[in-house]
A and B are shown apart, each in its own frame.
Chain A
Amino acid sequence: DGGITQSPKYLFRKEGQNVTLSCEQNLNHDAMYWYRQDPGQGLRLIYYSQIVNDFQKGDIAEGYSVSREKKESFPLTVTSAQKNPTAFYLCASSIQKGYEQYFGPGTRLTVT
């Protein structure tokens, strides 16, 4: 089965802790993306990566960090600097930037 996996589905953390969300794809896609979704809003881009060892900030990168050491993996770290981390986080990939994106099932992060 080809696709994008995100783990875990639900994640709970205490305020002040860093947390890393996993995203893996076996579609052989070059580009990968992280989005944040809040109720009643569209998706907002956090970071994206066009190739291995390269990534760029999206619209709301503050308080987040990423790495792209392998083509199939693009983990997102939500740091304690992120003021409102509770949200639904979606990872996506595409053959290249500009082509349609395929989404993972998402991780719902709750920080208390």
Chain B
Amino acid sequence: AQSVTQLDSHVSVSEGTPVLLRCNYSSSYSPSLFWYVQHPNKGLQLLLKYTSAATLVKGINGFEAEFKKSETSFHLTKPSAHMSDAAEYFCVVSEQSNFGNEKLTFGTGTRLTIIP
């Protein structure tokens, strides 16, 4: 069975400083991994995805994530936080089993606050 753990429910950083949102996963098969962002009362927007190509994935708005199989991690980073980055972020794992079943599992989210 697959699972996703977002290690921090809330992260606060100052504007202009780096952002790190942590995500660990477990999966029986080769997973696909995603990061989504959700602004208040809005739907989710895809930031980036990993699908077994390059382990360092670049996304929109300057975000990137690195897939580390040995650490079962897929942490999201950004070099310099902007006020508009304040939102909820979800790490998502999708695995395709040998039986053709596929399921998305969402983490519980990390709320990012940017301090002016």
Contacts and interface: CB of A to CB of B under 8 A. Distances in A.
Question: Are A and B associated in one complex?
Answer: yes
Contact of A43 (B90, B94, B96, B103): B90
Contacts of A2: none
Given A97-B102, A98-B96, A98-B102, A42 B42 contact: no
A100 B46 contact: yes
A102 B46 contact: yes
Given A100-B34, A100-B49, A102-B46, A42 B109 contact: yes
Interface in A3-33: 4, 6
Most chain B CB within 10 A, of A6, A45, A103, is at A103
Nearest to A98: B102
Nearest to A88: B41
Contacts of B49: 100
Given A43-B90, A98-B96, A100-B34, A105 B46 contact: no
7 smallest CB-CB distances across A and B, nearest first, come from A42-B106, A103-B43, A98-B102, A103-B44, A43-B106, A105-B43, A42-B108
A105 B42 CA distance: 5
A12 B34 CA distance: 33
B90 to A, nearest CB: 6
A104 interface: yes
Given A98-B32, A104-B43, 8 more contacts: A41-B108, A42-B106, A42-B109, A44-B106, A100-B34, A101-B104, A102-B46, A103-B36
B13 to A, nearest CB: 21
Most chain A CB within 10 A, of B43, B94, B96, is at B43
A101 B105 CA distance: 12
